[in-house]
Structure 1
Amino acid sequence: MKKAFPIVLLVFGAIFTGYYFLCGSLAGFHVSMLWVWLLLGLLCIGKGLWDLLRKEKSTGKAARVLTVAARSAVSILLAAFVLAEGFVLSGMVKQPKPNLDYIVVLGARVFGTEPSPILQYRIDAAYDYLMENPETTVIVSGGQGENEDISEAACMAQELRKRGISSERILLEDKSTTTAENMAYSRALMSKENPTVGVVTNNFHVFRSVCIARKRAGLSHISGIPAPYPSVLLPHYMMREFFTITVDTLLGNTI
């Protein structure tokens, strides 16, 4: 049993490191926070090798205190991570509510004037919902970033019009740069006092977006509309949500 745990660490270290290089080779090593996988992998491998190769355990009081403190910190971190990922997963499996007053489609990267794959999934999900719910108004939300020829909102509106969605059903919010701004600025475009609203975003992002909409936009009747994200990067973005949920919580954006 004493040798089993270091071997488990080595296996996880190899998986984390391999995943880092797989994602980097397919999507580029510039992907936000991708380095976390390499760090986790190296830490697991280092700890596993240390436990396997060292001959005697330190028995001094200081060593025991440090060991207990380290294990406690790791346990708390893992518990928080599991809790956060449970919330993320709950958002990923949400079923859209029918006949909402508005849906807000959150922007993402635009290449020139064309949507990135991650944005295209959101546009597709919004289109499907609008076709099934003809009385719903859509707010496309997102400003213009660097190296983007048009705003994210304009790109989404353009794509929806191409597919037959009437301009009368589309409202543009093209000033926002964060999810909190997406929701706050979109709320200002809603004429109803207490509207029912759905947030269209990729599945891993639904839980946090709904929380932000409640907190920052004062939307009480808010639900998520998850768009798929069939990519090798899905586990990475789910992991990254732990950190972004933590940051948004500290900033008062979620609770």
Structure 2
Amino acid sequence: MQKYFLGKCVIGIMAIAIGIVVITAVIETVLIVKASAKKPQENATLIVLGCKVYGEHASRSLRERLDAALIYLEENPNSQCIVSGGMGEGEKISEAECMYRYLTKKGINSSRIIKEDKSTSTRENLRFSKKIMEEKGLGNNIAIATSEYHQYRASQIAKSLGFSVGAVSGHTAWWLFPTFYMRELYGILYQAL
């Protein structure tokens, strides 16, 4: 009888733990979807968050962010753009330089693009970009160009820095999405704690 009771307790605890994980994932997913769908204001300052660069070439994820940024910049000709990202391991140029080259090659006037090439995290991307915006008198209205799964966490950091935020979301390839999505769920939880 005691073994039976212990078994039920273990199963009950496991069921509660699984339930908590599922509920947390659902809540975070709703937050991610809402954040990635938030339309930016017209002619907001666009901050493109960096991502992996292979040598001098943008990774697929970075190209997806840049293609979304390109559409926004074409539709909002008075927007300034800050490309934000330092140089990581295996990168021959900074993420900012890579993004600058990509956007100018696609026809965006170089005078609209400001490089922030010191940051190594999302928080630094936004903090260092804020300093640039303050120096140039660009206000606090921004659009963040990043992957859709990353919009919620990035927008929460931006809001904590005093920004008014909209989303310009790059669409992640379906075969890469599950890995990045799961990692982001842990990132959101870590940031919340």
Question: TM-score if structure 2 supplies the norm length?
Answer: 0.92
Confirm whether residue 211 of structure 1 aligns to residue 156 of structure 2.
Answer: yes
Q: How does 1:134-149 map to 2 (within 5 A)?
A: 134-149=77-92
Whether the aligned pair in 2 keeps the contact of 1:157 and 1:170 (CA below 8 Å) is: yes
CA separation in 2, counterparts of 1:98 and 1:193?
A: 14
CA separation in 1, counterparts of 2:81 and 2:40?
A: 14
Q: Equivalent residue for 2:68? A: 125
Aligned residue pairs: how many?
Answer: 191
Structure 2 residue corresponding to 1:188, chosen from 120, 127, 131:
131
Percent identity over paired residues: 35
Whether the aligned pair in 1 keeps the contact of 2:140 and 2:162 (CA below 8 Å) is: no
> 2:117 corresponds to which letter in structure 1?
D
CA separation in 2, counterparts of 1:200 and 1:152?
A: 14
SS at match of 2:132: coil
> 2:159 corresponds to which letter in structure 1?
R
CA separation in 2, counterparts of 1:135 and 1:195?
A: 15
Q: Equivalent residue for 1:177? A: 120
Cα gap change, 1:61 to 1:142, in 2 (>3 Å): same
Deviations 1:19-78 (A, max 9, x none): xxxxxxxxxxxxxxxxxxxxxxxxxxxxxxxxxxxxxx9853322222222211111121
Structure 2 residue corresponding to 1:167, chosen from 91, 102, 110:
110
> 2:6 corresponds to which letter in structure 1?
A
SS at match of 2:143: strand
CA separation in 1, counterparts of 2:180 and 2:41?
A: 25
- Computed over aligned residues only, the root mean square deviation of the Cα atoms, in angstroms, reads 1.8
Whether the aligned pair in 2 keeps the contact of 1:91 and 1:226 (CA below 8 Å) is: no
Q: Equivalent residue for 2:146? A: 201
Show structure 2 runs of 5+ residues with no match.
Answer: none
> 1:80 corresponds to which letter in structure 2?
T
Q: Equivalent residue for 1:33? A: none
Once the two structures are TM-superposed, the CA of residue 89 in structure 1 deviates from its matched residue by 1.9
Question: TM-score if structure 1 supplies the norm length?
Answer: 0.70
Once the two structures are TM-superposed, the CA of residue 199 in structure 1 deviates from its matched residue by 0.4
Q: Equivalent residue for 1:74? A: 18
Whether the aligned pair in 1 keeps the contact of 2:37 and 2:167 (CA below 8 Å) is: no
Q: Equivalent residue for 1:90? A: 34
Show structure 1 runs of 5+ residues with no match.
Answer: 1-56, 251-255
